[in-house]
C-alpha cells in the first residue's frame, strides 16, 4: 500500500455540519489531503472562517439547514457548479436529545429523526445521481455507538434509534450500489470531546460513568474521528463497503 492512497487530490467532498467538532476536523483533514470541499452548516464559527481563509481556493461554505426539503438539491448543485464534481459525501450533521421514553414528545422525535436520519437519507439520495453519472463515489455516514447500545446514565431512545437507522441505511445502500462503483460506509464514534457532548462532560454524574465504561480511560478527539473518515473516503478503503467502523476506545467491547 502506498500512502498516496490516503490522498484526495482531484476529488470534491461535500461535508455537512462542518462548522465545529467532528465535521470541522474532517474538513481540515480533507483539505490537507488535497480535496476540494463544499462545507455546509446552519451557522459560521470563527474556526470555520479561519479554515475558509486558509483554503480560499479549495474550500467554500454554504449556509444550509439540511432538514429543509430543498437543501439536498441545492448543496449537490453547488458542489457541481463550484468544483465540477461530487466524489465524496460525508453526512455528519446531527443533534442529540435525551429524556425518558414516555416523556419524549412528537416534536422532539421529529427534530431528531429529521436531522439525524431523514436529512442524510435525502442528501445521499441526491448525491448518488452525479456519482452514478461519473462512474463512482464514496459516502460516509456518521452514526454512533448509540446505534448499537443503550447508553447510560442518560436516556436517549430517539437518538439511538436514529443512529441505528443510519447504520442500516449504510448497509443497504452499500449492497445496492457496490456494483455501480459507489462505496457506502459509516463511522460509529464513542464519546468524543465536542460541542454535542460538552453538557454531559460537564456533569460529573454522567462523564464519570462514560469514562468508567471506556476501557481506554479517555474520551476521543474530533481529529481521531476525522482520521477514520479519511480512510473510509479514500482509495485506501477501495475494497471496503457496507461497514460501520467503530471508534470508541473500547466502549462496546463489554
Catalytic residues: 159
Question: C-alpha 62: how far from its chain's center?
Answer: 17
Look-up of cell digits 437519507: 121
Q: What are the CA-CA distances from residue 59 to residues 11, 24, 86, 112, 222 (Å)?
A: 12, 12, 13, 29, 19
> What SS3 class is residue 63?
strand
| DSSP one-letter string for 141-200 | EE--GGGTS--SSS--HHHHHHHHHHHHHHHHHHHHHGGGTEEEEEEEE-SB-STTTHHH
> Is the peptide bond preceding residue 2 cis, with omega within 30 degrees of 0?
no
Q: Is the sign of the CA dihedral 96, 100, 101, 103 positive or negative?
A: negative
Amino acid at each position: 500500500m502506498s500512502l498516496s492512497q490516503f490522498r484526495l487530490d482531484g476529488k470534491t467532498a461535500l461535508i455537512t455540519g462542518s462548522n465545529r467538532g467532528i465535521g470541522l476536523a474532517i474538513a481540515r483533514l480533507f483539505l490537507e489531503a488535497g480535496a476540494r470541499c463544499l462545507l455546509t452548516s446552519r451557522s459560521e464559527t470563527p474556526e470555520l472562517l479561519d479554515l475558509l481563509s486558509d483554503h480560499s481556493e479549495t474550500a467554500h461554505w454554504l449556509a444550509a439547514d439540511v432538514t429543509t426539503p430543498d437543501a439536498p438539491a441545492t448543496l449537490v448543485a453547488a458542489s457541481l457548479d463550484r468544483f465540477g464534481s461530487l466524489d465524496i459525501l460525508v453526512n455528519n450533521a446531527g443533534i442529540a436529545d435525551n429524556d425518558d421514553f414516555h416523556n419524549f414528545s412528537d416534536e422532539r422525535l421529529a427534530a431528531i429523526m429529521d436531522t439525524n436520519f431523514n436529512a442524510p437519507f435525502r442528501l445521499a439520495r441526491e448525491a448518488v445521481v452525479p456519482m452514478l453519472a461519473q462512474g463512482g463515489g464514496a459516502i460516509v455516514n456518521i452514526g454512533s455507538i448509540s446505534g448499537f447500545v443503550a447508553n447510560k446514565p442518560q436516556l436517549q431512545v430517539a437518538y439511538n434509534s436514529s443512529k441505528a437507522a443510519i447504520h442500516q441505511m449504510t448497509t443497504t445502500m452499500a449492497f445496492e450500489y457496490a456494483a455501480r462503483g459507489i462505496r457506502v460506509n459509516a463511522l460509529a464514534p464513542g464519546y468524543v470531546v465536542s460541542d454535542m457532548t460538552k453538557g454531559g462532560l460537564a456533569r460529573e454524574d454522567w462523564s464519570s460513568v462514560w469514562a468508567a465504561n471506556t476501557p481506554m480511560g479517555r474520551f476521543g478527539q474530533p481529529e481521531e474521528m476525522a482520521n477514520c473518515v479519511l480512510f473510509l473516503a479514500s482509495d485506501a478503503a477501495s475494497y471496503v463497503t457496507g461497514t460501520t467502523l467503530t471508534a470508541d476506545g473500547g466502549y462496546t467491547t463489554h
